[in-house]
Amino acid sequence: MSGDTLQGQCRIKTPILHPVNMSNYPDNSANDQPRTIIIGDVHGCLHELNQLLLELVPTEHDHLIFIGDLIDRGPDSAGVVERVVELSANHRVSLILGNHEEKFLRYRRHRAAGKGVERQMSGTEEFPMLMERLQSIHFEFLENAYYTLHLPEYRTLLVHGGIPGQVKFPLPATYRYGEHAPRDYPGLDLLTKTRFLDENGSFVALNEQKPQDQFWAETYDGRYGHVVFGHQPFMEAAPKEFPFATGVDTGCVYGGKLSALVLPLAH
Ligand SMILES: [Mn+2]
């Protein structure tokens, strides 16, 4: 991604009723029914989030799920967190932990410890501003994010990044940031940042990717159910479909669109 796209000519995508797989997602889209709405990576694009919400008109019965990375890169990260927390006062809102939220919470912990460790962290340019603008209600909301959210009624698992090859803890299941620590569930944090896997199916770090490595969703066999994820921007008109996964980050902050995946009522 070249630097000049980072300001984000964010554009809006009409939310779509988008059954991923008709056998898993029975079509019951009567509009008075509660909806499960999964929103892609917002990355500070407050205007596009507001436009999307105007189109969605969420009701008090809907469940709004943000797939993570509310913050960083875009024009108004603090405004996005404030808007989402404001929504949560009157709606059921869940946040999947993005790698940018994870880094921000880590930065905040280091700052509180007072040893200056946070000054060695890269990619934290926006964090002092967030520390200044956000209040305890916002931090609490971020701390309550999910590493994974299991929606058994849809046989679906939500993560920000993806499923790394070797998972050594029970899935599908729900894990929360404030409640389940990677030291007790080794590899839990990888679900927030997985993109590529090596030939053994193991997690590949961002800077160590080789041409033969495969995007995780290309080889994922559905063993934990259908996975809905963000993190990897797909510059496409609609969420990207894989055999057992759906990517909902359509690259809003890179000049793409902000997408919402609207699941019909499950039985
Ligand atoms: Mn991400």
pLDDT tens sequence across 135-160: 999 999 999 999 999 999 999 999 99
Give the pLDDT band (50/70/90) at residue 255.
confident
Q: What are phi and psi of 156, to 5 degrees?
A: -130, 145
For ligand 1, the distance from its centroid to the CA atom of residue 266, given in whole angstroms, is: 28
Residue 267 confidence (pLDDT):
55
For ligand 1, the distance from its centroid to the CA atom of residue 31, given in whole angstroms, is: 31
Q: How many CA atoms lie within 13 A of 72 on its CB side?
A: 16
Residue 20 DSSP SS3:
coil
Q: What is the pTM of this model?
A: 0.89
Q: Which residue has the higher pLDDT, 114 or 13?
A: 114
Residues with CB under 5 A from ligand 1 (ion): 69, 98-99, 231
Residue 33 confidence (pLDDT):
78
Strand locations in 138-249 (E)? 146-151, 156-158, 175-176, 196-197, 203-204, 214-215, 226-229, 240-242, 245-247
Which neighbouring-strand residues pair with 157? Answer: 150, 227
For ligand 1, the distance from its centroid to the CA atom of residue 34, given in whole angstroms, is: 28
**Spatial distance between the Cα atoms of 25 and 27, rounded to a whole number of angstroms:** 6
For ligand 1, the distance from its centroid to the CA atom of residue 72, given in whole angstroms, is: 10
Which neighbouring-strand residues pair with 204? Answer: 196
Could you read off the pLDDT of 14-49 as tens digits, one per residue? 343 333 322 333 344 455 678 899 999 999 999 999
For ligand 1, the distance from its centroid to the CA atom of residue 32, given in whole angstroms, is: 33
For ligand 1, the distance from its centroid to the CA atom of residue 142, given in whole angstroms, is: 15
For ligand 1, the distance from its centroid to the CA atom of residue 170, given in whole angstroms, is: 23
- Can you read off the two tokens belonging to residue 100? 């940018």
For ligand 1, the distance from its centroid to the CA atom of residue 68, given in whole angstroms, is: 7
Q: Which domains does the chain have, with CATH numbers?
A: 3-263 (3.60.21.10)
Residues 6+ apart with CB under 8 A from 155: 24, 225, 226
